[in-house]
Structure 1
Amino acid sequence: MTHAIKTVSRRSFLAAMGSLAAAPVFSGSTLAASLLNREAADGVPLFASAYRKADGEFGVGIVDDLGQILAQITLPGRGHGIAVAPEGSRFVAFARRPGTFAVVVRPFEDVQPELITSEPGRHFYGHGCFSADGRLLYAVENDFAAARGVVGIYDTSGSATRRIGEFETNGIGPHDVLLGPDYRTLIVANGGIETRPDMGREKLNLDTMAPSVVFIDSRSGDILAQHALDKELHQLSLRHMALDAEGRVWAGGQFEGPLDEVPPLVGVFSRDAAPKLTAIPEPVASGLQNYIGSVAANAGGEVIAASAPRGGQTLFWNASTGAYLGARSIPDGCGVAPIDQGSFLISDGNGALSLVSDPAAPAEILARPPGISWDNHLFNLAKIDAA
Structure 2
Amino acid sequence: MRLTATKPLAISRRAFLAGLGASGLLLGSGLSSAFANALKLDSARDLQLFASALRGPDGSYALAVVSEDGEILFQAPLPDRGHAISFDSTNGRLLSFARRPENFAVLIDVMTGGEPLVFTAPEGRHFYGHGVFSPDGRLAYAPENDFENARGVIGVYDMSGAVPSRIGEFESFGIGPHDLLLSPDGKRLVVANGGIQTHPDKGREKLNLETMTPSVTFIDTASGDLLAEHSLGSELHQVSLRHMSFDGAGDVWVGGQFQGDKSETPPLMVHLGQDKAATALEMPQDITQSLQNYVGSVEMNKSGDVIAASCPRGGKILYWDVAKRSFIGAHDVVDGCGVAPLDEGSFAITDGNGALSFGSAEDRVAQVINQTAGISWDNHLTPLGILKSS
- TM-score, normalised by the number of residues in structure 1: 0.89
Aligned-pair identity (%):
52
TM-superposed deviation, 1:21: 3.5
SS in structure 1 of the partner of residue 112 of structure 2: coil
Moved more, 78-87 or 205-214: 78-87
Matched, 1:209 2:212: yes
The aligned counterpart of 2:354 is: 351
Matched, 1:254 2:257: yes
Structure 1 157/326 Cα, relative in aligned 2: closer, same or farther at 3 Å?
A: same
AA aligned opposite 1:237? S
Question: Deviation digits for residues 211-244 of structure 1, max 9, x if unmatched?
Answer: 0000000000000000011111000000000000
The aligned counterpart of 1:97 is: 100
- 1:67 corresponds, among 59, 66, 70, to 70
- Alpha carbons 2:194, 2:241 under 8 Å: kept: yes
Structure 1 358/256 Cα, relative in aligned 2: closer, same or farther at 3 Å?
A: closer
In 2: Cα distance, 1:153 partner to 1:16 partner: 28
1:211-360 to 2 correspondence within 5 Å?
211-360=214-363
In 1: Cα distance, 2:62 partner to 2:19 partner: 21
Structure 1 382/285 Cα, relative in aligned 2: closer, same or farther at 3 Å?
A: same
AA aligned opposite 1:341? E
Question: Deviation digits for residues 11-65 of structure 1, max 9, x if unmatched?
Answer: xx9699524548xxxxxxxxx898x989989952110111111211001111011
AA aligned opposite 1:324? F
AA aligned opposite 1:99? E
The aligned counterpart of 2:120 is: 117
AA aligned opposite 1:86? S
Ranges in structure 1 where 5+ consecutive residues have no aligned partner: 1-9, 23-31
- Alpha carbons 1:316, 1:359 under 8 Å: kept: no
- 1:170 corresponds, among 152, 167, 173, to 173
SS in structure 1 of the partner of residue 271 of structure 2: strand
Structure 1 382/236 Cα, relative in aligned 2: closer, same or farther at 3 Å?
A: same
In 2: Cα distance, 1:141 partner to 1:14 partner: 35
The aligned counterpart of 2:54 is: 51
In 1: Cα distance, 2:173 partner to 2:147 partner: 14
- Alpha carbons 2:186, 2:221 under 8 Å: kept: no
- Alpha carbons 2:339, 2:380 under 8 Å: kept: yes
- Alpha carbons 2:281, 2:325 under 8 Å: kept: yes
Question: Deviation digits for residues 103-158 of structure 1, max 9, x if unmatched?
Answer: 01111212111111110011000001111221110001101011100000001111
AA aligned opposite 1:165? G
SS in structure 2 of the partner of residue 257 of structure 1: coil
In 1: Cα distance, 2:40 partner to 2:235 partner: 51
In 2: Cα distance, 1:302 partner to 1:295 partner: 13
- 1:81 corresponds, among 77, 81, 84, to 84
- 1:108 corresponds, among 106, 111, 115, to 111
SS in structure 1 of the partner of residue 329 of structure 2: strand
- Alpha carbons 1:20, 1:33 under 8 Å: kept: no
- 1:186 corresponds, among 172, 176, 189, to 189
- Alpha carbons 1:152, 1:166 under 8 Å: kept: yes
Question: Deviation digits for residues 257-278 of structure 1, max 9, x if unmatched?
Answer: 1111110001011011111111
AA aligned opposite 1:103? V
Question: Deviation digits for residues 144-195 of structure 1, max 9, x if unmatched?
Answer: 0111000000011111111000011111000011102443100000000000
Structure 1 20/272 Cα, relative in aligned 2: closer, same or farther at 3 Å?
A: closer
TM-superposed deviation, 1:326: 0.6
- Alpha carbons 1:351, 1:373 under 8 Å: kept: yes
SS in structure 2 of the partner of residue 267 of structure 1: strand
- Alpha carbons 2:106, 2:117 under 8 Å: kept: yes
AA aligned opposite 1:204? L
- TM-score, normalised by the number of residues in structure 2: 0.88
Moved more, 248-257 or 348-357: 348-357
The aligned counterpart of 2:384 is: 381
Question: Deviation digits for residues 61-88 of structure 1, max 9, x if unmatched?
Answer: 1101111111111100000001111326
In 1: Cα distance, 2:110 partner to 2:350 partner: 21
AA aligned opposite 1:112? E
In 2: Cα distance, 1:80 partner to 1:228 partner: 25
What is the RMSD computed on CA atoms of the aligned residues?
Answer: 2.4
Relative contact order, higher structure (CA 8 A, sep 6+): 2
- Alpha carbons 1:47, 1:381 under 8 Å: kept: yes
The aligned counterpart of 1:4 is: none
In 1: Cα distance, 2:117 partner to 2:23 partner: 14
AA aligned opposite 1:376? N
The aligned counterpart of 2:7 is: none
